[in-house]
Amino acid sequence: MEICRTKSDIRTAVKQWRAAGESVGLVPTMGFLHEGHLTLVRAAKEACDRVIVTIFVNPTQFGEAADLDAYPRDEARDFALLEAEGVDAVFCPSVDEMYPADTQTTVVTERLEKMLMGELRPGHFKGVCTVVTKLFNIAQADRAFFGEKDYQQLLVIKTMVRDLDIPIEITGVPTVREVDGLAMSSRNVRLTPDDRKAALILNKALAFADYEVSDGRTASELEEAVRAFIAKEPRAQIESVDVRDAATLEEVTGQITAPVVILLAARFGDVLLIDQRVADPT
Ligand code: AMP
């Protein structure tokens, strides 16, 4: 497995593969890998001849410096896991390599950028779109793989690729969970044992919402019911509960008649967790 810290190193590797007619898959991550990430890697291996995993904790998508500083990192462990999966190259650039002085250009999906998580964290999706565009341009991959867990992010990236005619195919991969249902996340290691138990309320709330969606409710009624459900867990500080059109993330008025996505964000201690589920009322 090649470990590339510079753009020119990864470009050299990709150039050789492409010259040999091999297809290239890309899995962007922020490291501290778990089974969720490795599931994306396996999907990429299945679909492409060569697989690149990027590890870059992107400062421009973090609102709070404290959150960025607290983000867990373990490069040696990540490399061992990726080697065992048969990954061809890891691209792990420094912040300076990605953002040289006088970097000025950004990428924004106007409408999606301001919704939901984008409203709570202004600039977050601008940071994501900009870094992902740079990774696409650096890696020149045929396909890229993203988790449905970050549902709005997946939609933002698909929209950006469509709007800017970026020649890459985006594949979404279903959320991978711990056996007890907690969505896997690099942030889970920061939960105290009590908060780790309390966090199970998120997946339970999604199961509850999935059951209730077929009951002729409106989106706002369902949001209220899910909020009340999560509020039964005193350790959960709800940040947002949204029921939106699964295809567009637009608000749903009247009774729910088409698939919706239920998007949850809640803090346990100082750890912000998100989870999602698509529910079909029919
Ligand atoms: P991150 O390192 O958190 O930026 O995640 C890198 C990629 O892995 C993103 O596309 C995430 O959506 C995806 N991912 C993170 N957690 C999971 C999970 N539990 N199941 C599936 N994909 C995930």
**Which parts of the chain fold into alpha helices (H)?**
7-19, 35-47, 65-70, 75-84, 95-98, 110-114, 116-120, 124-139, 151-163, 193-198, 200-212, 219-231
Q: How far is the CA of 34 from the centre of ligand 1 (A)?
A: 9
Shortest-distance atom of ligand 1 to CA 185: 16
* Whether 142 and 201 share a structural domain: no
From the list 128, 124, 147, 125, the residue with the least C-alpha distance to 136 is 128
Return the pLDDT at 219.
96
Q: Give per-residue pLDDT as tens, 19-28.
A: 999 999 999 9
- Is the CA virtual torsion 39, 77, 186, 27 positive or negative? negative
* Residue 213 belongs to domain spanning: 186-276
- SS3 for 127? helix
- Is the CA virtual torsion 254, 153, 69, 1 positive or negative? positive
User: pLDDT-based confidence at 63, cuts 50/70/90?
Assistant: confident
Q: How many residues would you count in the chain?
A: 282
Which residue would you say has higher pLDDT here, 275 or 65? 275
Return the pLDDT at 215.
75
Residue 95 has a CB neighbour count (10 Å cut-off) of 12
Q: Average pLDDT in the 76-87 region?
A: 98
* Whether 115 and 254 share a structural domain: no
Q: Give per-residue pLDDT as tens, 248-280.
A: 999 999 999 999 999 999 999 999 999 999 999
Those residues whose C-beta lies under 8 Å from the C-beta of residue 91, and which sit 6 or more positions away, are 4, 5, 10, 52, 53, 54, 55, 56, 135, 138, 139
**Closest residue CA from atom 12 of ligand 1:** 147
C-alpha angle 68-246-59 in degrees, rounded to nearest 5: 15
User: pLDDT-based confidence at 67, cuts 50/70/90?
Assistant: confident
**What is 233-272 written as a DSSP string?**
STTEEEEEEEEEETTT--B--SB--S-EEEEEEEEETTEE
Which CATH number does the domain housing residue 152 bear?
Answer: 3.40.50.620
* Whether 166 and 190 share a structural domain: no
* Whether 222 and 261 share a structural domain: yes
Mutate to test the pocket of ligand 1, among 37, 38, 145 (most ligand atoms within 8 A of CB): 37
* Whether 100 and 217 share a structural domain: no
Query: What is the spatial distance between Cα 51 and Cα 87, in angstroms, rounded to a whole number?
Result: 6
* Assigned domain for 113 exists: yes
Q: Give per-residue pLDDT as tens, 197-227.
A: 999 999 999 999 999 998 789 999 999 999 9
Q: Give per-residue pLDDT as tens, 27-51.
A: 999 999 999 999 999 999 999 999 9
Domain boundary (138, 173, 208) is at 173
Query: What is the spatial distance between Cα 160 and Cα 215, in angstroms, rounded to a whole number?
Result: 35
Q: Average pLDDT in the 53-72 region?
A: 92
- The catalytic residues are 37
Return the pLDDT at 143.
98
Query: What is the spatial distance between Cα 127 and Cα 153, in angstroms, rounded to a whole number?
Result: 11
Q: Average pLDDT in the 110-129 region?
A: 95
Helices 124-139 and 7-19 cross at an angle (nearest 10°) of 50
Query: What is the spatial distance between Cα 166 and Cα 126, in angstroms, rounded to a whole number?
Result: 17
Q: Average pLDDT in the 223-252 region?
A: 97
Query: What is the spatial distance between Cα 58 and Cα 30, in angstroms, rounded to a whole number?
Result: 7
State the total domains in the chain: 2
**Closest residue CA from atom 10 of ligand 1:** 146
Q: How far is the CA of 164 from the centre of ligand 1 (A)?
A: 24
Q: Average pLDDT in the 180-195 region?
A: 96
**Closest residue CA from atom 11 of ligand 1:** 147
Q: How far is the CA of 233 from the centre of ligand 1 (A)?
A: 25
**CA separation (Å) from 113 to 116, 131, 159, 167, 249?**
8, 14, 11, 22, 11
In this predicted structure, the answer to whether residue 75 has a pLDDT above a threshold of 90 is: yes
Q: Average pLDDT in the 231-244 region?
A: 98
Domain boundary (151, 173, 195) is at 173
* Assigned domain for 85 exists: yes
Query: What is the spatial distance between Cα 197 and Cα 148, in angstroms, rounded to a whole number?
Result: 23
Q: How far is the CA of 38 from the centre of ligand 1 (A)?
A: 9
The residue to which tokens 């469509």 are assigned: 162
Domain boundary (173, 207, 235) is at 173
* Whether 126 and 192 share a structural domain: no
User: pLDDT-based confidence at 64, cuts 50/70/90?
Assistant: confident
Return the pLDDT at 34.
97
Shortest-distance atom of ligand 1 to CA 184: 19
User: pLDDT-based confidence at 98, cuts 50/70/90?
Assistant: very high
Q: Give per-residue pLDDT as tens, 125-167.
A: 999 999 999 999 999 999 999 999 999 999 999 999 999 999 9
Query: What is the spatial distance between Cα 69 and Cα 62, in angstroms, rounded to a whole number?
Result: 10
Q: What residues line ligand 1, using a CB cutoff of 6 Å? A: 29-30, 36-37, 39-40, 146-147, 149-150, 173, 175-176, 183-186
Query: What is the spatial distance between Cα 17 and Cα 20, in angstroms, rounded to a whole number?
Result: 5
* Whether 25 and 117 share a structural domain: yes
* Whether 107 and 242 share a structural domain: no
* Assigned domain for 105 exists: yes
* Whether 17 and 138 share a structural domain: yes
